[in-house]
A and B are shown apart, each in its own frame.
Chain A
Amino acid sequence: MSLNLEQVFRAARLARLAISDAEAERTAAQLNNIFALIEQMQAVDTTGVEPMSHAVDLAQRLRPDAVTEADRRADFQAIAPETEAGLYLVPKVIE
């Protein structure tokens, strides 16, 4: 298995990471080395083995749908890149 440049650009696009051509080429080479290690998994027959998605098999705990937090909007927005009138500002998305 080997990743081509196209696949690296696609993953970067999905992950919202800007990547230059030179960086993509370097990355492809490194990812291919890493995938050579990962490929060892393919030799194992795992037919009938239940995937283990978590360290402990537990059911999702539920809680009442109640407000438990105090309003700390000012604290949280104090660390935001850009806010106005209690809102987070981002570039315009709808004309």
Chain B
Amino acid sequence: MINLSLSELGAALAAGQISSVELTQLFLDRCARENPRLNAFICLDQARALDAARAADAARAAGRAGPLTGIPLAHKDIFCARGWRTTCASRMLENFVSPYDAHVVGLLQDAGMVLVGKTNMDEFAMGSSNETSYFGPVKNPWDHTMVPGGSSGGSAAAIAARLVPAATGTDTGGSIRQPAALCGLSGLKPTYGVCSRYGMIAFASSLDQAGPMAKSAEDCALMLNAMAGFDARDSTSLDRPAENYTRLLGEPLAGLRIGLPREYFAAGLDAGVHAVVDAALDQFRKLGAVTVDISLPNSGLSVPAYYVIAPAEASSNLSRFDGVRYGHRAADYSDLADMYCRSRAEGFGAEVKRRILIGTYVLSHGYYDAYYLQAQKIRRLIARDFQAAFEHCDLIMGPTAPDVAFPLGAKSADPVQMYLNDIYTIAANLAGLPGMSIPCGFARGLPVGLQLVGAWFDEARMLGAAHQYQLNTDWHRAMPAGL
């Protein structure tokens, strides 16, 4: 039961083989047993989950069940959920109980999914290893001495350990795709604007995008069907006709043109990961796709440009945490300015403060043109590279991360080494493109992710290609030993 896909779980519920209460209890028991070792959840709520499960069973009995009704789910703790503690893994929001639902939370609730808990993450989504969480690091279920990736590391670990069948994540520079790769999952970052950011605690607003994390591409497509859609409360939400993201799952791969950016297979890529990705590409060719050599000449600049743009936006977004209306307030202070300074110094962790300082600096008088404007111009060059590439191919593929999961603590003292983990994922955020990671094998016993990047709004084709690969391979069904 724990390794079934969402559509299989939906079928089992529809056939009456299991009730949502039974299914939810099964996963809650797994959470209770495994979470103390993994630290994947910041908060679990058995009573509320079972209430939601009973409501789902009642809806089904009344003939009001959809494809996801009654299936358990976890939300990354960046999504506000009414009545749930929503911490963003920060001391700043340790006691913040959200008075409202994020749009995505409301949509998945409307779809009948059963929320069991909120997952751990890097503080304010700033990190690639889940080690910046105020609530402690998450362990990778494949090897408890390794990081799960980040920032959606709790969601990734929870699914990999089969504590929930699916979860939400957010991706600003790779935070869905990189942990999906490091934990052997499928995860999708949609085109910017497809999922509403309302109620999703903001990190870098021009880059942040919510997306599904699950075992397979088909599961991601079903989740995205429920998560996508226009929302007037997000000023950058795109008003487009509704799409069925499963519609191309059956499309054969014959004739699909896959672009391989030579910059993604160059120095810096682990040899073991390289070999596994090559084998996956061979499989795609065997299934009828053709691969073409492409170049993204400015992709090497994506990390530098990102570490100007994202901190700049973060420094502005995080100025709202001042200890006045909600969040942490210092116990001792002399005046208002001192209250702000101490509350923020106590409430934020080291990585968050670092990024606020970078952002404040690059936006300050005398540096704005040299850093912020230059980064925005390079962002344009990176987006143009993709535009040119998509004239020669339908999808782009390559490694999701330069290496498999690394040991806890290995990179936490060196921010630059940590940032370089996202060297292949950041460009899609800068350009606003959809991207996903799917499991494609193992190197040194740890999962390897294959990254797919689609043209703007081409999620359905990307999901279709990933699904065809998964019909012919079993990597997405692999589970850590001992489950």
Contacts and interface: CB of A to CB of B under 8 A. Distances in A.
Contacts of A10: 364
A67 interface: no
A14 B366 CA distance: 14
Contacts of B322: 16
B308 A38 contact: yes
Interface residues of A, number: 50
A67 to B, nearest CB: 14
B207 A41 contact: no
Interface string B329-363: 10001111111111011001000011011101100
B324 A34 contact: no
Contacts of B377: 46, 49-52
Given A34-B415, A55-B207, A42 B374 contact: yes
A95 B291 CA distance: 72
B370 interface: yes
B97 interface: yes
Most central of B192, B354, B357, B375 by chain A CB within 10 Å: B357
Contact of B324 (A53, A63, A80): A80
A85 B95 CA distance: 22
B78 to A, nearest CB: 17
Contacts of A90: 324, 336, 339
Given A46-B377, A52-B379, A53-B206, A30 B430 contact: no
Q: Is the interface of A mostly helix, strand, loop or mixed?
A: loop
B430 A55 contact: yes
Contacts of A17: 341, 344-345, 348, 353, 356-357
- The prevalent SS among residues of B at the interface is helix
A33 B340 CA distance: 28
Interface in A8-61: 8, 10-12, 14-19, 27, 30-31, 33-34, 36-42, 44, 46, 49-56, 58, 60-61
A91 B357 contact: no
A29 to B, nearest CB: 11
Interface residues of B, number: 71
Nearest to A13: B341
B99 A55 contact: no
B214 interface: no
Given A34-B416, A79-B99, A44 B378 contact: yes
B334 to A, nearest CB: 8
A18 B378 contact: no
B305 A11 contact: no
A7 B97 contact: no
Contacts of B207: 55
A61 B237 CA distance: 10
B362 to A, nearest CB: 8
Contact of B301 (A16, A19, A40): A40
A86 interface: no
A87 to B, nearest CB: 11
Interface of B: 95-97, 99, 192-193, 206-207, 232, 235-236, 238, 298, 300-301, 303-305, 307-308, 315, 319, 322-329, 333-342, 344-345, 348, 353-354, 356-358, 360-361, 364, 370-371, 373-381, 383, 414-416, 419, 429-432
Which 8 pairs of residues, A with B, have the shortest CB-CB distance?
A55-B432, A51-B376, A55-B192, A46-B377, A81-B329, A18-B345, A52-B380, A18-B341
Interface of A: 3, 7-8, 10-12, 14-19, 27, 30-31, 33-34, 36-42, 44, 46, 49-56, 58, 60-61, 63, 72, 75-76, 78-82, 88, 90-91, 93
13 contacts: A11-B357, A11-B361, A16-B337, A16-B340, A17-B353, A18-B338, A18-B345, A30-B354, A37-B303, A41-B375, A44-B298, A44-B381, A80-B326
Given A16-B340, A79-B326, 18 more contacts: A7-B361, A11-B360, A11-B364, A14-B364, A17-B348, A37-B304, A37-B419, A40-B301, A40-B304, A46-B381, A49-B381, A53-B376, A56-B236, A56-B238, A58-B238, A78-B99, A81-B326, A91-B336
